[in-house]
Structure 1
C-alpha cells in the first residue's frame, strides 16, 4: 500500500462567523494528479492554501512525507516541498521577470558589498522560463510589459524552478490560452510521471476529468466524495458539487441570431501597436457579440479600447448617438460597463469592502449632487445587488479580498448592473467561477439581452462563445479573421481553424 505524501486531518478554517472548512480529511499520493472541484466558497482554495503555507488552519493537523507539516509562509512551504500557483495575480508590478522569479532569493547573485549581479539573475530567469517551454520571455523584461497570461507563466516558472514534491495549481488554466494550457498540462503530467503529486483546482469539469487521476468534491466546507477515474460521471459530479440537479438552460436554448436595429456602440478603424490593426465592428442593442482568439490576438486590447482605456493611435469608438468614447469616465457617463479579465487588478479594489466596490459606479443613484452620499440609499442600493446576484458574504462591509473568485466576479457584475449600464463589455466574465455561478451569469446575460442591453463578450472558451453569442468574431494577430452567425450546426472545429 502506497503511503500518502500529504495527509490533512480534520482541517477546520473560519473567517469570522463563516466556516470555510469543517474538519476536512484529505490524502494526496505520489504519482497522482488530484483534482479539487466545487462551487465558489466550497473550500478548494482554502484547503490548498493551508497546505501551501498561505494561511493557517484554526484546528487540525498535516503530515507531509511522514513528518508534521506547519509551514510558516508560502516561501517556507516552497523551500520544503509544496509550491502553489495562485488563482489571481501572484506577481508584483514595477519589477522585471528576473526579480519576480527570484524575489526573496537574491543571495546567490549578491556580492559582499550588496551589489546584485542582474545579468546573471536575468540569465537564470530566462533559463527558468525556457525550462517550462516559454522562449519568448527573457529575465530582463519588465513584468508590466507582459499580458495576464504571460505573467501567470512567470508564476509557474517561479514555483516549478524549485522542483517541489507537490505542485498546487489553483484555477490557473482560466488565465491561460490554448498554448499556455498545453505548457501547463505537460508540466503537471511530468510531475506525476516523476512520482510527485499535483493538486489541480478547476471549475471546468471537462478539463478536470481529462487531466486528473482522482477527483475530490467539496461543498460548503465539507468533503463530499472522492471519485476515481473509473467512477467519473459528469452528472453525478455536478450533483455532488451543488447538492442538487441544475435546472433551466445552461447556455442559450435558441439558435437564432437576434438583435434590435439600433446600434449601441461602434468601433471605426481602431489601431493600437500590433494588437489592433484597423479593427471595425458594430454592436447592436439586444445583442451578444462574442470575440475569440488565442493569446496575443488582440481581443483583450479591443475590450479596453471600447471602454476608452487604451490610447489609440488612430480610429474612434462612438455610441449609437454619436458620442465619442475617449476615456473610461466618458464611457461610464454613456452607461458603458467593463469587466476586466484581470479582475483583482483592474475591476476591484481588494483593500475596500464589498459595499465600496459596488457603490463606486452608482454614485449618481444615491449621492446628492453626485457628492453627498446618503447612507440609507447607498445601503439599500448595495443590498439590492447582493441579493439579486446571491453574493455570499458575511456583510456588505466584508473585505472583497476575502471572497471566493465567483463571488468577487458577482461584485464586479453588481457594480455595473446596479448603475444601469446599457452596454456591457465582458472580458472572460466566467473566469474562475463554478458551474452554478456560470449558469446564473449566462441566464443573467440572456435576461439583459432581452431587456435590450448590448453585450460584447470576450472569451477564451469556445463552448461559451458558441453557446451565448448572436455573432462571433475571431481575431488573430490584431486582425479580424472571420465572423460567424449563431447556428445550431456551428462547432469548435469550424472556428478554431481561423484562430491558429
Structure 2
C-alpha cells in the first residue's frame, strides 16, 4: 500500500506547554490507523494540524507525497482530508439532507436548491450505509447516536481520501457501533484511509490495522495490531506496566451479611417498573443494560431527582423518604452523573470551588464562605486523588477527562457517603486514569461503602463488580453472580434473549 498521508517532524507549542514534539508517522491507502495516548498526549493537536484547524510551528504534512500548508479545514478537505469531531456540528432545525450537504447543495442556474436531486443523493448515501432515516427529517428529532452517524456520513459525502474519527462511538449504542464499523470496513475496501482515536482498546483490536502511540506530546512507537496485545499498548501509553487495570478481585461476598441499601418495587411510569435490588456493605453492584433500559433513570429516581409512582428505598432495614437530591445527600447517598461536563461540574469555576459544591454549608456555616478552609480542602483533595494540575485555582474546564472525573469523585466523597452510585465512571477517560479511578472505587468498597456502578462497558462491569443486575426495557431481567460473569452471558440478558426465572412475569 502507498502512503496517502505522511506527517514529518511536527512541532506545536502553546504558552508553557509543548503539545507536540517532533512527531512523524505515515498512513497507507485503505489503512485504519489508531492514534492512541492518554488525555494530553497530543493526539488532538496532531489531528487538528493534519486537518488544517491548527498550524504547526514546524514540520510538514504530506498528501500523496506532496507537501501541504493548510490554513483551514476547508483547504484540507479540498485535498481529501476530513475530520469528524466528537462534538456534534449538526443544525437541529435543518433536515438530514441539508446538514449532510450543507453549503454544497445542488442548485439550478438561478441559484435555487434542486430539492429532488438533494434528497435523491442523500437517500443513496443513507441506503448504501444502511442508516434508516428519512432525508427530510429535522435533525433535532433524531437521537445523539444517529446524529453521530450522520456526521460521519457528511464527511463521506465529500469523497475524502482520509477521514479522522475522534471518539466516534462515545454516543453510539452497540448496534450503531457495529453499523459504524461496517461503514469503515466498506470504505476501507474502497481505498479510504482512517485515523481512529478512541480510549476503548477493544474497538482498536476489532477495527484497526496498526496503532501509533503518543505520550507527553512525543511519538512513542507503532505496532501492527495483529502482532501486539492490550497490555503492550497500555504500557506504551502510560510509560509503566499496568498488569491488571481493575486491580485485585475483592474477597468473596458473605451472603449471610444483611443488605444495607435496598430498593423495593421502584416504579416510574414509562421509565422503569417494579425494580428491586440490594447492596451489602463493601459490595460493588454493577448495573448493565442497553441505552433506553432505564439504568440512569432508575438512579435518578433513587436520589429523588424525579418523582416515582411507587416503591421504597431502605437503609439498614429502615425505610427512608427521598423527595429530592438534597434528601439523598442528607441520607449519605451520592450519585455521580454520567454527564460530568453538562451536569456534574462547574466548568468555568476553579477546582477548589467545585470540590466544595456538594457541601457548601460545611464551608459557609454562617452564610459566608471560609476561603482558608476551601483552599486547605482543595490542596488535600488534590493530593489524595492525584489530580494533575499545577494549581487548585485552575479552571475545571481546562482539565483532562480523567482529572475532571477525579474532581467529581472528590466533590461527592466530601459528603462521606455510605452509598455511592457511579454512572459511567470512566466515560471519556484514558486508560491510565481509568486504572486510578478503579482503585479509588475499590478502596471505598473496602471501607465498607455500598457501591453501584452503571456502565455500558462490559469489561468494566466484569472486572469491577461482585454481582451484575441486568435491566431490559425498564425491568430487571436477571442478577448475575461473579462465577457466571461473561460477555456472552450478559449480552443474552441485556438484549432480552434470556431472562432469569424469578424475573419472568
* TM-score bucket of the superposed structures, by smaller chain: 0.7 to 0.9
3-state SS of the aligned residue for 1:102?
Answer: helix
Q: Could you tell me which residue of structure 2 aligns to residue 478 of structure 1?
A: 474
Deviation at 1:38, TM superposition (A): 2.0
- Structure 1: gaps of 5 or more residues: none
Answer yes or no: is the 8 Å Cα contact 2:100–2:150 preserved in 1: no
Q: Could you tell me which residue of structure 1 aligns to residue 348 of structure 2?
A: 351
Deviation at 1:447, TM superposition (A): 0.8
Q: In the alignment, does 2:173 pair up with 1:177?
A: yes
Once the two structures are superposed, residues 121-180 of structure 1 have per-residue CA deviations (whole angstroms, 9 ceiling, x without a partner) of 89987776555433267753563x655544433433343343332222222334333212
3-state SS of the aligned residue for 1:395?
Answer: coil
Seen in structure 2, the aligned counterparts of structure 1 residues 150 and 380 have a Cα distance that, compared at 3 Å, is: farther
Q: In the alignment, does 2:452 pair up with 1:453?
A: no
Q: Could you tell me which residue of structure 2 aligns to residue 326 of structure 1?
A: 323
Seen in structure 2, the aligned counterparts of structure 1 residues 75 and 279 have a Cα distance that, compared at 3 Å, is: farther
Structure 1 residue corresponding to 2:88, chosen from 87, 90, 94: 90
Answer yes or no: is the 8 Å Cα contact 2:52–2:76 preserved in 1: yes
Would you say how many aligned residue pairs link Structure 1 and Structure 2?
492
3-state SS of the aligned residue for 1:465?
Answer: helix
Seen in structure 2, the aligned counterparts of structure 1 residues 309 and 47 have a Cα distance that, compared at 3 Å, is: farther
Seen in structure 2, the aligned counterparts of structure 1 residues 295 and 18 have a Cα distance that, compared at 3 Å, is: same
Q: Could you tell me which residue of structure 2 aligns to residue 405 of structure 1?
A: 401
Structure 2 residue corresponding to 1:194, chosen from 190, 200, 211: 190
Once the two structures are superposed, residues 446-493 of structure 1 have per-residue CA deviations (whole angstroms, 9 ceiling, x without a partner) of 111121222221112222212211221112222211111222x52222
Q: Could you tell me which residue of structure 2 aligns to residue 490 of structure 1?
A: 485
User: 1: distance between equivalents of 2:269 and 2:117?
Assistant: 35
User: 2: distance between equivalents of 1:362 and 1:293?
Assistant: 32
Q: Could you tell me which residue of structure 2 aligns to residue 245 of structure 1?
A: 241
Once the two structures are superposed, residues 38-66 of structure 1 have per-residue CA deviations (whole angstroms, 9 ceiling, x without a partner) of 22322223322332344443443323344
Answer with 5-14 or 105-114: which moved more. 105-114
Deviation at 1:439, TM superposition (A): 1.7
Deviation at 1:437, TM superposition (A): 1.8
3-state SS of the aligned residue for 1:215?
Answer: strand
3-state SS of the aligned residue for 2:268?
Answer: strand
User: 2: distance between equivalents of 1:277 and 1:249?
Assistant: 35
3-state SS of the aligned residue for 1:378?
Answer: helix
Structure 2 residue corresponding to 1:364, chosen from 361, 366, 374: 361
User: 2: distance between equivalents of 1:56 and 1:362?
Assistant: 44
Deviation at 1:359, TM superposition (A): 3.3
Deviation at 1:200, TM superposition (A): 1.1
Answer with 110-119 or 65-74: which moved more. 110-119
Deviation at 1:415, TM superposition (A): 2.2
Q: Could you tell me which residue of structure 2 aligns to residue 373 of structure 1?
A: 369
- Structure 2: gaps of 5 or more residues: 496-505
Structure 1 length-normalised TM: 0.85
Structure 2 length-normalised TM: 0.84
Deviation at 1:280, TM superposition (A): 3.0
Answer yes or no: is the 8 Å Cα contact 1:128–1:157 preserved in 2: yes
Answer yes or no: is the 8 Å Cα contact 1:287–1:455 preserved in 2: yes
Q: Could you tell me which residue of structure 2 aligns to residue 13 of structure 1?
A: 12
User: 2: distance between equivalents of 1:329 and 1:475?
Assistant: 27
Q: Could you tell me which residue of structure 2 aligns to residue 41 of structure 1?
A: 40
User: 2: distance between equivalents of 1:55 and 1:398?
Assistant: 24
Deviation at 1:32, TM superposition (A): 0.7
Once the two structures are superposed, residues 74-112 of structure 1 have per-residue CA deviations (whole angstroms, 9 ceiling, x without a partner) of 56645653333334x4257x9347379729936749999
Q: In the alignment, does 2:342 pair up with 1:339?
A: no
Q: Could you tell me which residue of structure 2 aligns to residue 163 of structure 1?
A: 159
Q: In the alignment, does 2:232 pair up with 1:236?
A: yes
Deviation at 1:118, TM superposition (A): 10
Seen in structure 2, the aligned counterparts of structure 1 residues 481 and 334 have a Cα distance that, compared at 3 Å, is: same
